[in-house]
Amino acid sequence: MTEADTTPGSQSALRQANERRVVDVLRRDGTRTQAELARATGLSAASVSNIVRGLRAAGTVAVRDTSSNGRRARAVSLLRPPGTVVAVDFAPGHVRVALGDSAGTMLSRESIAYDAAADAERAVRRAAWLAETLLLAARIDLGTVSSVVASVPAPLDPDTGEVGEISGLPRWTGFRPAQALEERLGVPVRVENDANLAVLAERESGAAQGADHIIHLVLGEGVGAGVVVSGELFRGAGGTAGEVGHIGLDPRGQVCRCGNRGCLETFVGSSYLLGMLPPHAGPLHGPGPVGVADLVDAALAGDPGCRRIIDEAGTALGQGAAIMANLFNPDRVVVGGELARADALLMVPMRRAMEMGALGSALRRLTLARSALGDQAILRGALRTAARLAG
């Protein structure tokens, strides 16, 4: 999908704006006659009639004959209850948007390849454009959207909504994405950490169903964790709970971007893994830059170097997870992200390292599982959260 395809021209943009004025009046005042709508919006009777015809065809309004002051009139009522929710996912490689109904069930979604990390303001503009495009395609007026939840791979200050320092979006530090999106869309926006949204989705309909004490590890450029304790999301005092990528594993290891050495991230983060590739790794010599997906494919195809890299990542992940297990005594540990696709190549050494590093009693009730929702988890979690906020 390209931006130019669906950018509304001035005619359709004007029509959208007029439709919105009509829907706004119906939301605020309830059922109105066409004459009343014309008075309330300042549009001509012919324009209102035209707009109502379009809204009726789209299933947004119902029209019935009635009388007003003894004259025949047409009464217009809003049919689709205001309650559409929107999810936005910002990541270093993409901006994604999904629409959901008032229960948070996904209606449609779209993704654009875009480096959200490069520029926060521009990423917000892209996301707003993508949301408006999806709404336009679904013939849903922005005025009927009740709530928006956006995801960032970063810790967020619970008081100010500012993006924290060490994150997957380093240039967003101090930026307030909720405020910026709200100014663009005119709808209440809540921003949440990506792993927090993913763990909510996995608990509701994925690999963490039935569990009350969950650690969901999200592997990417860094390692994030969504932590659920006694059925509740655990954010910590300043919103940085779950930044497990900076658990120190080796004081003589590589220097991490946080300033410490040998953090978990330096063993499993995408860039570190790709940096370990041998110079002549056969199966990886395709066109375009090599990514973790290629590493996993090559390992699954039997490449010994790639297998070794993933095996060691699994061991480090297990050492980190063992520390978390001793702390939280979870009943479910879920592993998500591209690397999780390596399945047993990652999970077997991970389990072994957990058994070596954690108390037996900390693991007794624990199930280790791969994410069931994959890259859908964040958007699904965001839609459900938006629906709850609206409800």
Contact positions toward Zn ion, by CB under 5 A?
A: 246, 256, 258, 260, 263
Name which of 252 and 280 has its Cβ closer to Zn ion.
252
DSSP helix/strand/coil, 86: strand
Cβ at position 259, least distance to Zn ion in Å: 7
Cβ at position 345, least distance to Zn ion in Å: 25
Residues 391 and 385: their CA atoms lie apart, in Å, by 10
Instruction: Report whether 310 contacts 346 (CB < 8 A).
Output: yes
Name which of 194 and 243 has its Cβ closer to Zn ion.
243
DSSP helix/strand/coil, 288: coil
Name which of 213 and 246 has its Cβ closer to Zn ion.
246
Cβ at position 155, least distance to Zn ion in Å: 13
**Residue 307: phi, psi to the nearest 5?**
-65, -40
Using a CB cutoff of 8 Å and minimum separation of 24, what contacts does 308-312 make? Answer: 309/273, 309/276, 309/277, 310/273, 310/339, 310/342, 310/345, 310/346, 311/345, 311/346, 311/349, 312/267, 312/349
Cβ at position 143, least distance to Zn ion in Å: 44
Using CA atoms, how far residue 294 sits from 30, 285, 297, 341, in Å, is 55, 9, 5, 11
Name which of 263 and 322 has its Cβ closer to Zn ion.
263
Name which of 50 and 260 has its Cβ closer to Zn ion.
260
Name which of 246 and 341 has its Cβ closer to Zn ion.
246
Cβ at position 258, least distance to Zn ion in Å: 3
Place of tokens 């990423």: 123
Cβ at position 237, least distance to Zn ion in Å: 20
Q: How many CA atoms lie within 13 A of 86 on its CB side?
A: 34
Residues 314 and 320: their CA atoms lie apart, in Å, by 10
Instruction: Report whether 223 contacts 244 (CB < 8 A).
Output: yes
Cβ at position 319, least distance to Zn ion in Å: 15
Name which of 192 and 265 has its Cβ closer to Zn ion.
265
Cβ at position 97, least distance to Zn ion in Å: 31
Q: Which two tokens stand for residue 166?
A: 């060490």
Amino acid letter, residue 132: E
Residues 195 and 371: their CA atoms lie apart, in Å, by 12
- Its sign, for the CA torsion 246, 251, 252, 255, is positive
Cβ at position 260, least distance to Zn ion in Å: 5
Residues 82 and 93: their CA atoms lie apart, in Å, by 32
Name which of 258 and 323 has its Cβ closer to Zn ion.
258
DSSP helix/strand/coil, 176: coil
Instruction: Report whether 64 contacts 52 (CB < 8 A).
Output: no
Name which of 223 and 378 has its Cβ closer to Zn ion.
223
**Residue 129: phi, psi to the nearest 5?**
-60, -45
Cβ at position 198, least distance to Zn ion in Å: 21
Residues 320 and 318: their CA atoms lie apart, in Å, by 5
Name which of 203 and 246 has its Cβ closer to Zn ion.
246
Amino acid letter, residue 223: V
